[in-house]
Structure 1
Amino acid sequence: MLTIRFLGADTMKNRKYYEQLYTEYPTVVTLIQFRQMLGGIGDTTARKLMRENRVKHYYIRHTYLIPKDWVIDYVLSEHYAEYREQLKVQV
């Protein structure tokens, strides 16, 4: 299992920060890895984000594949900024 290092709340979270945070993940992640990257969100929540096209992804043979860059794009998006207030675990 991959470990995620948390920095202080006052650390500016930009693309470089997330690229470093997610270095242990492959270039293209699965739905399970995506859920881990967002702090362990539920399967239903992750699939809802995909269905609503909040996160760019590929859906091939009943499998979600998400390039790591697209995960970072989502985490830096306005939607995630609003949405993370509702999440129990924040990245």
Structure 2
Amino acid sequence: MMNKIQAKELYEKMFANYPDVLTVEDATKLLGFKSQTAVIRRVHQHRIRCLKVGRSFMIPKEYLIDYLLDD
């Protein structure tokens, strides 16, 4: 069984080719969701932390990894 530190290191390696800050579209692809609505819903539920830039949500890769580790 993998502990949280090992899981975090694995995710960091898996997501190494992605930018440090993701759009909702990028996060949707990375998480394997079918629609961006699923990511936006989790943002509004405060399950995925984000930065709001104008009217857009930007999700640091680190926040997405935190979501995966907590879920």
Equivalent residue letter for 1:60: V
TM-score relative to the length of structure 1: 0.68
| Rg larger in structure | 1
Q: Encode CA deviations 1:20-64: one digit per residue, 9 max, x unaligned.
A: 000010111110011011013411111100101101101111111
> What are the within-5 Å matches in structure 2 for residues 1-91 of structure 1?
12=2, 14-77=7-70, 80=71
Q: How many residues align?
A: 68
Structure 1 runs (4+) greater than 6 angstroms displaced: none
Counterpart CA distance in 2 for 1:33 and 1:43 is 9
Greater relative contact order (CA < 8 Å, ≥ 6 in sequence): 2
SS at match of 1:56: coil
The structure with more helix, counted as a fraction of residues: 2
Unaligned runs of 5+ in 2: none
Report % sequence identity.
26
Counterpart CA distance in 1 for 2:66 and 2:17 is 17
Unaligned runs of 5+ in 1: 1-10, 81-91
Counterpart CA distance in 2 for 1:74 and 1:20 is 16
SS at match of 1:14: helix
Coordinate RMSD, CA, aligned:
1.5
Equivalent residue letter for 1:66: I
TM-score relative to the length of structure 2: 0.86
